[in-house]
Amino acid sequence: MISSKALRLGTFTRRFTALRSSPPVRGLATATQIPSPHPDVANRTPPYQKLVKNLFEVRRILGNGTGLTLAEKILYSHLDNPEESLCGRNGKIRGDAYLKLKVDRVAMQDASAQMALLQFMTCNLPNTSVPASIHCDHMIVGEKGADEDLIGSIRGNKEVFDFLESAAKKYGIQFWAPGSGIIHQVVLENYAAPGLMMLGTDSHTPNGGGLGAIAIGVGGADAVDALVDAPWELRAPKILGVKLEGQLSGWASPKDVILALTGKLTVRGGTGYIIEYFGPGVKSLSATGMATICNMGAEVGATTSLFPFTESMVSYLDSTRRSPIAKAALKVNAENGFLQPDKSAKYDEIITIDLSALEPHINGPFTPDLSTPLSKFKEAVAENNWPTGLSAGLIGSCTNSSYQDMSRVESLVKQAKAVGLKPKVDFFITPGSEQIRATLERDQTLKEFQEAGGTVLANACGPCIGQWKRTDNVAKGEHNAIFTSYNRNFKGRNDGNPGTMNFLTSPEIVTAFIYSGAMTFNPMRDTITTPSGEAFKFSPPAGPELPSRGFTEGNPDFYPVDATPSSEAEVVISPTSDRLALLEPFTPFGNSELKGLKVLYKVKGKCTTDTISAAGAWLKYKGHLDNISNNTLITAVNGETGEVNKAYDTDGSVSGIPELARKWQSAGQEWLVVAEHNYGEGSAREHAALQPRYLGGRIILAKSFARIHETNLKKQGMVPLTFVNENDYELIGSCDSVDTIGLLDMLKAGGEGEVKVRVTKKDGRQHEILVRHTISKDQAGFILAGSALNLLSKMAAQRP
């Protein structure tokens, strides 16, 4: 039931009232060294017995002698119907078969949860079919410090948070309030488990691979598949094996494994692959270190990343109140080898990394795959004319906010303190969760950071995803360099300033650099002059993997309450809201080819989901499709003029891209976009697919797509096509007219058949261009129906 009445005084409203009158009470609980199991641990344990039974059936179909990787074991054991997905393929599964999977869990962050829930609500179901959680982490600004920022962000976003909490109550979803932590850290601490399969509405969901889970980032429409108990479809990925040898030492950290690998693979080198780590070096890594590595696998386009079961996972599960899961995992692995690859497993490719020889890396700016070893960074600064001075250092985020990360940083801060050094630039710290924050407070780590001049931000994404309100007077457009321990560094992402160069590295390297303030500094060999005039050189960082006294949970108000669905609960959306709006279904495809489409825009160069649907200030409109559509492609570069957000109509008049799209839409003129490689790289932002569809777009024709975005387009009824000959990109320009040939037949044939497009230039000349597609039978059904949601709603209505 949708209500326009004011929200009743619920759990979160009471929290907000308390926060408004006084800051949050910190560190109220004290953990024991061997904590008692979480009361909900049984519901968080993967169904090992069922999964092993399914895997036996899979082995029968494939042949008992077929060696399987760990990724295949977990994926195939979650197949809804192994016979349908695997039979008759003659071993051609990876990169070819479409797997229909039943996932164990769904996690949603607040920005994307709005649209996911709005879509789920149209199905009129009483509850979600799998356990789910909502995490309020993306809509909290980082500026002055945790308490002040949190109160202001709650006040500014109260309408959205109240909607999310009310929906959670109605449908039985666990609601993690603002301040509780970043989705991926909270999932690692509470829900991720060896052998689990989960979907998350955020591209860095693979963070859960640090605990041996298959955790995949998706759009909200994909999440709805799982929430309504429909099989979720995935084209079987290839498997990239990364063999780790040796052991990290000195300044090298787990972050450097993925920074180096990203440099090797590039931002699209992992597309169509799962990255599976193996080898003797795996045993030397902490669970949180492995999570860091898996988290950034999203930057190479990989479907997900994961590690085999290790003793460090057992230690982490024990320390986070999940000992029964650790015991169950040990048992199923000992009896069936379920949580490790078969000895005869084969990988499509193998890359070997010697951890013993690995040095720290620094990646950037403006792309996460520009990787430079620390020893060569000074030279790169000079060669590229990057700023020589640093303007800020930021550590934490979902990627690097573990206890181990922070304790290693603390060792450096203490070294600097002992010789009288202070940071020379602004220093920001983002704890990943309330549990991490409270434990660091108890152990005096945060005190050390604050006494050094650091600002502790809220347990939220903050600057990492564009919610950073800078107070250091760096002007818009001013070139400056920041060092962060984040995972993504696209232009303008952090502070809205396209001149800010974000260099990604480990928290330890960020911290060392803030004491120098110079981009040319190398903490492994260089010294800093102390106030007494002496030369000081950092010793390598050191810190424990887990807190010796266990974790403390902190403020209990930040933790979710009972997730039992309530038919009495009302989901509150004001009819006059500019933040939330109910969805109207998209129209079906129709019974003819697409004819007379106009090219709205020809995009040049990198076009990420940030480019297609900007974050930052626009996050407040995530639940209002009409309003957020005003940011569509506003930072895209025009491939014909080099201008940004300048679109030309057939009469030569110029406007912004969304303005021209709306003008054409009102005139009944449908359109397409032409783009280059890896279109839709970056966040799992389904708005980047929803918005073009909403404004009248029908096709995206690109040289290649990022995986999540290509799927999101299909789910919303958009048709993603790629050039057979990439040079044909040059044959199309803005306002050209485009007809499809064979598209309707292909869709009606369930994805079988070739497609071409006929391009008519302004002077009447025509070109026929061959294009490719990756549309499956189910996806063809989505497009014909107008969207996947249209089909799901119909299916839900037919249930008894």
The DSSP-derived string for 717-784 is: T-EEEEESSGGGGGG--TT-EEEEESHHHHHHTTS-S-EEEEEE-TTS-EEEEEEE----HHHHHHHH
Mean pLDDT of 673-692: 92
Annotated catalytic, 268?
no
707 plus 758 within the same structural domain? yes
How does residue 793 score in pLDDT terms, banded at 50, 70 and 90?
confident
- Residue 96 is given by DSSP the state T
Domain identity same for 294 and 374: no
Q: What percent of the chain has pLDDT over 90?
A: 87
At residue 4, the 3 state secondary structure works out as: coil
Checking if the pLDDT of 473 tops 50, the result is yes
Which pLDDT band holds residue 11 (cuts at 50, 70, 90)? low
Instruction: Using a pLDDT cut of 70, give the percent of the chain over it.
Output: 96
Catalytic residue among 321, 685, 698, 773: 685
Question: Helix or strand or coil: residue 93?
Answer: coil
Per DSSP, the three-state class of 589 is coil
CA–CA separation, 397 and 537 (whole Å): 27
Q: Is residue 559 part of a domain?
A: no
Would you call 263 helix, strand, or coil by DSSP? helix
pLDDT for 562 equals 78
Catalytic option among 104, 149, 202, 495: 202
Decide if 455 is inside a domain.
yes
Regarding whether 521 and 437 lie in a shared domain, the answer is: yes
**In the numeric block, which tokens belong to residue 768?**
């026929």
Instruction: Spot the catalytic one: 105, 361, 488, 773.
Output: 488
- 443: annotated active-site residue: no
Task: Look at residue 5 and tell me if it is in a domain.
Answer: no
Closest by CA position to 292, among listed 312, 273, 311: 312
Strands 755-760 and 737-741, by their bridges, are: antiparallel
Does an H or E element contain 306, and which?
strand 304-306
Token pair recorded at residue 363: 């990646």
Q: Could you list the residue range(s) of the whole structural domain that residue 420 is in?
A: 361-536
Per-residue model confidence (pLDDT) at position 124: 87
Q: Does any domain span residue 542? A: no
Say if residue 396 is in the same domain as residue 494. Answer: yes
Nearest of 682, 683, 716, 718 to residue 701 by alpha carbon: 718
Q: What stretches of 9-69 show up as alpha helix (H) in DSSP?
A: 11-21, 48-62
Tell me if residue 138 is catalytic: yes
Distances from the Cα of 584 to the Cαs of 262, 347, 416, 548, 728, in angstroms?
A: 40, 45, 58, 53, 36
pLDDT of residue 665: 97
> Cα 523–528–530 angle (5° rounding)?
145
Residue 639: CB partners within 8 Å, gap ≥ 6? 602, 603, 604, 674, 676
Instruction: Select which of 312, 401, 407, 683 is catalytic.
Output: 683
Q: How confident is the model at residue 798 (pLDDT cuts 50, 70, 90)?
A: confident
Same-domain status, 348 and 366: no
Looking at the structure, do residues 331 and 393 belong to the same domain, yes or no?
A: no
Query: What residue ranges in 578-706 does DSSP mark as E strands?
Result: 597-604, 637-638, 647-648, 654-655, 671-675, 697-702
Strand partners, 349: 240
Residue 349 phi/psi, 5-degree rounding, is: -145, 155
Dihedral through CA 555, CA 558, CA 564, CA 569, nearest 10?
120
* Nearest by Cα to 159 from 354, 16, 305, 352: 16
Residues 6 or more apart in contact with residue 333 via CB below 8 angstroms: 194, 309, 339, 340
pLDDT at residue 405, as a whole number: 97
In a domain, 579, yes or no: no
Active site residue 59: no
pLDDT at 799: 66
Q: According to the model, what pLDDT value does residue 34 have? A: 61
Same domain, 328 and 426: no
Claim to verify: residue 281 and residue 420 sit in the same structural domain:
no
78 is written with which tokens? 């979650």
Same structural domain, 350 and 422: no
Residues 229-237: what's their mean pLDDT?
94
Measured in degrees and rounded to the nearest 5, phi and psi for residue 256 equal -70, -25
Mean pLDDT, residues 629-653: 97
Report pLDDT for 770: 97
Mean pLDDT of the chain: 93
pLDDT at position 800 over 90: no
Residue 528 — pLDDT band, cuts 50, 70, 90?
very high
pLDDT beyond 80 at 7: no
Residue 489 has pLDDT above 80, yes or no: yes
Per-residue pLDDT tens over the stretch 30-42: 333 567 898 899 9
- Per-residue pLDDT at 6 exceeds 70: no
Instruction: Identify whether 31 is part of a domain.
Output: no
CATH code of the domain in which 507 resides: 3.30.499.10
d(Cα 253, Cα 241) in Å, to the nearest integer? Answer: 20
Question: Is 137 marked active-site?
Answer: yes
Assign residue 686 the CATH number of its domain. 3.20.19.10
pLDDT at 572 over 90: no
Q: Is the pLDDT of residue 17 over 50?
A: no
Q: Which stretch of 25-29, 360-364, 454-458 has the lowest confidence by average pLDDT?
A: 25-29
Question: Model confidence at 23, in pLDDT bands (50, 70, 90)?
Answer: very low
Task: Please indicate, yes or no, if residue 571 is contained in any of the structural domains.
Answer: no
Domain-ending residue, one of 354, 375, 409: 354
**Residues 300 and 377 both lie in one domain:** no
Q: Which of 354, 372, 406 is the last residue of a domain?
A: 354
Reply yes or no on whether 763 is catalytic.
no
Q: Is the pLDDT of residue 302 over 70?
A: yes
Q: Is residue 750 part of a domain?
A: yes
Residues 6+ apart with CB under 8 A from 734: 599, 600, 601, 602, 638, 640, 647, 648
Q: Are residues 204 and 337 in the same domain?
A: yes
CB atoms near residue 642 (< 10 Å): 10
Q: Which of 319, 354, 389 is the last residue of a domain?
A: 354
Q: Which alpha helices (H) appear in 337-490, and where do they start and end?
A: 377-384, 403-418, 434-442, 445-451
Question: Same domain, yes or no, for 409 and 334?
Answer: no
Q: Report the pLDDT averaged over residues 191-216.
A: 97
For the chain, how many residues are written?
A: 800
The tally of domains found in the chain comes to: 3
